Amino acid sequence: MKRRGYGMVFLLLLPALLIILAFYVVPAVLTGTMSLTNMDHRLSWNFVGLQNYKQMLQDTILSRVFWNTIVYVFGTLLCFNVTFGLLLALATSYIAERQGERTSMFFRALWLLPRFTPPIVYGVIWLWILDPTRNGLLNGVLDFFGGKPVSWISKYPVQVIVLTNGVIGASFGMILFYSAITSISKEYNWAAAVDGAGWLQRIRYVTLPLIRWPLMFVTAYQTLSLLTSYEYILIITGGGPFYRTTVWSLYAYNEAFGGYYASYRFGYATALTLVLVVISMVASIIYWRVFRFREMMSEPKIEVI
């Protein structure tokens, strides 16, 4: 009887296990092995020990890439994923309470839309908004007021990648914060209102302390997501001008697949991505300690989702 039970377990799990094994576990192991070779487009296993890692220490571009990554990750995180997401959640929850769920839903859906847009289409939209000629939105408006066109992407590349990623990133925080805010029981706010607290004071002393856990979770989770996201940067600036927007993950991608056959430096690129995994792990351990997530796990302080 019991044996038959396990048989079924095995049967139902098998397809998932096979696919995860072939396209997740095996590649993960291969990545580790590849980082010890100087593999290129010929895909031959030529072991060179830790040479790739030594090369990283001498790579002059890499320190620049490192700082780009810090600026990009924390800039986007602080400006958009946390702060702007929170503002959107506060605004839409206020509207949901006063004006009805529908208007609020409209704005939340509007902000979710970029997340579901094919990345290349999202890229097209921004390439138009930031177009260096009069045909673009910003320069069209400038032109209307008699200004000269500005080449936004080459002039403000870092701001551009923070903004374009932020518009997508804000919706993650928005959704989580919104459900956290709307699940705060109304009595707290009423009590504060009776004591004479205005809207801002209620946010400061009631809402924010009560959504502490979601705030910290979004900060931690989105740091890790941003560390490994490069798709939109690749489409909009391509990492340029001259490495100014090349973040760590994009650098690794470009070393492997950027340009033509000149790159395909698979060995070096996999070593780069492994360092990225280590950085992510260190970041998550730090967050785990600093934000004391264990407490959150032990006892649900607030119901989210």
Partner 1 sequence: MAQLKTERAQLSRFSPERLRVEARKEKSKDRALTVFIYAFLIVASLPIILGYGWLLLNSFSETLAYGVLPKGWTIKNFRFLWELPSRYYPDLWRTTWNTLLLAVGMTVIMILIATPAAYVISRMKFPGRSMMLAMTLILHSFPGVTLLISLYYVLRSLNLLNSIVGVFLVKAGLMLPLGIWIMKGFFDNVSWDVEMSGLVDGASRLQTLYKIVLPQVKPGIAAMAIFSFINGWSEYIYVITFIQKKESWTLSSYVNSIIGDFQFIDYGLLSATALFYILPVLLFFIFTQKYLMTVTVGGTKG
* 80-119: contacts with partner 1 (CB under 8 A): 81, 84, 87-88, 91-92, 94-95, 98-99, 107-119
| Contacting range for partner 1; rule: CB under 8 A; set: 46-54, 151-159, 162-170, 289-297 | 162-170
Q: Segment near partner 1 (CB under 8 A), from 49-57, 139-147, 151-159, 293-301? A: 139-147
- Distance from C-alpha of 62 to C-alpha of 35, rounded to nearest angstrom: 17
Touching partner 1, residues 52-81 (CB under 8 A): 76, 81
* Min dist. Cβ of residue 127 to partner 1 (A): 7
Of the candidate residues 136, 180, 237, 287, the single one contacting partner 1 (CB under 8 A): 136
Report, in Å, the least distance between residue 122 CB and partner 1: 8
Residue 245 binding partner 1, by CB under 8 A: no
Task: Tell which one of 50, 61, 141, 285 touches partner 1 (CB under 8 A).
Answer: 141
Task: Tell me the site size for partner 1, rule CB under 8 A.
Answer: 102
Q: Alpha helices of the chain — where are they, by DSSP H?
A: 2-20, 26-34, 51-58, 60-76, 85-98, 101-116, 119-129, 137-144, 152-155, 157-182, 186-194, 199-202, 208-210, 212-227, 231-236, 248-257, 266-290, 293-298
Q: Is 290 in the site for partner 1 (CB under 8 A)?
A: no
Candidate ranges 51-59, 181-189, 220-228, 290-298; the one touching partner 1 (CB under 8 A): 220-228
Q: How far apart are CA 16 and CA 7, in angstroms?
A: 15
User: If you ran DSSP here, which 8-state letter would residue 245 be given?
Assistant: T
| Between 117 and 244, CB nearer to partner 1 | 117
Q: Which of 68, 75, 85, 123 binds partner 1 (CB under 8 A)?
A: 123
Cα 267 from Cα 35, distance rounded (Å): 5
Q: Tokens 């989105």 label which residue?
A: 222
Instruction: Classify each residue of 13-35 as buried b or exposed e, where b means 16 or more C-beta atoms within 10 Å of its C-beta.
Output: eeeeeeeeeeeeeeeeeebeebb
| Residue whose structure tokens are 């932020």 | 166
End-to-end CA distance of the chain: 39
Q: What SS3 class is residue 37?
A: strand
Structure tokens at 299: 């006892």
x/- mask, partner 1, residues 182-211, rule CB under 8 A, reads -----------------x------------
Distance between CA 117 and CA 238 in Å, rounded?
A: 19
**Site mask, partner 1, residues 6-45, x = CB under 8 A?**
x-xx--xx-xxx-xx-xxxxxxx-xx--x--------x--
Stretch that binds partner 1, among 47-55, 62-70, 182-190, 225-233 (CB under 8 A): 225-233
Pick 208 or 274: Cβ nearer partner 1: 274
